[in-house]
Chains A and B, each alone.
Chain A
Amino acid sequence: DSGVTQTPKHLITATGQRVTLRCSPRSGDLSVYWYQQSLDQGLQFLIQYYNGEERAKGNILERFSAQQFPDLHSELNLSSLELGDSALYFCASSANSGVGQPQHFGDGTRLSIL
């Protein structure tokens, strides 16, 4: 058990809809990272937050947004969903944003767009 909790585990919705994925980091970790993993691609970095502030952005679509709350949990919001958004979405946390820090991953949310 990594200590990172993601909810829900599975989400099925339709095109055009909006969903929110939730992540609780390991106790004491200040950094949260979001990734997308598709069958034909590796882990694609989306965005990182550190202690409530956005720290880095990857290939995150404008339809996607995230935030980290004062209690350090994070939410990833996906809107105007398309079939291609079907994927596993992982959250990871690390102690701080310092280089060399390993990330600890949750078990992901599987998003299926019908």
Chain B
Amino acid sequence: EDQVTQSPEALRLQEGESSSLNCSYTVSGLRGLFWYRQDPGKGPEFLFTLYSAGEEKEKERLKATLTKKESFLHITAPKPEDSATYLCAVRGTSGTYKYIFGTGTRLKVLA
């Protein structure tokens, strides 16, 4: 069964303190791994799609990487406005059209 596990559940960083969020996945034939940002009371906001191991994508202070078993979201020199919950999702080739979401990492960046 397709599964996504995110760690840590919560992370507190000082402004400028770089770190990484982890997304481990089990899927029968990865067709896409997605990162989203969710602010309180809002819907998830799309950040990146990764398709194959070795792929990397960057946007401002965020960089997403992908291996065959996990993805990392690296946050470089974070600012307080980066505080949010970061969600990872996968879609496989199991014959359905379901996206499987992890429970997210709640990031708090302190000024």
User: A residues within 8 Å of B by Cβ?
Assistant: 2, 4, 33, 35, 41-43, 45, 48, 50, 55-56, 58, 90, 92, 97, 99-108
Contact = CB atoms under 8 A, between A and B. Distances in A.
Contacts, number: 63
A92 B101 CA distance: 13
A45 B46 contact: no
B53 to A, nearest CB: 15
B97 A102 contact: no
Interface of B: 31-32, 34, 36, 41-46, 49, 51, 87, 89, 91, 93, 96-104
Contact of B43 (A97, A100, A105): A105
B43 A107 contact: yes
A42 B87 contact: yes
Given A99-B32, A99-B93, A100-B31, A33 B99 contact: yes
Q: Nearest 10 CB-CB pairs, A to B?
A: A105-B43, A99-B31, A42-B103, A56-B97, A100-B32, A43-B101, A102-B46, A105-B44, A107-B43, A42-B101
Contacts of A101: 32
Nearest to A35: B101
Contacts of B102: 42
Contacts of B96: 56
A108 to B, nearest CB: 5
Given A4-B43, A55-B97, A99 B91 contact: yes
Contacts of A50: 97
Nearest to A101: B32
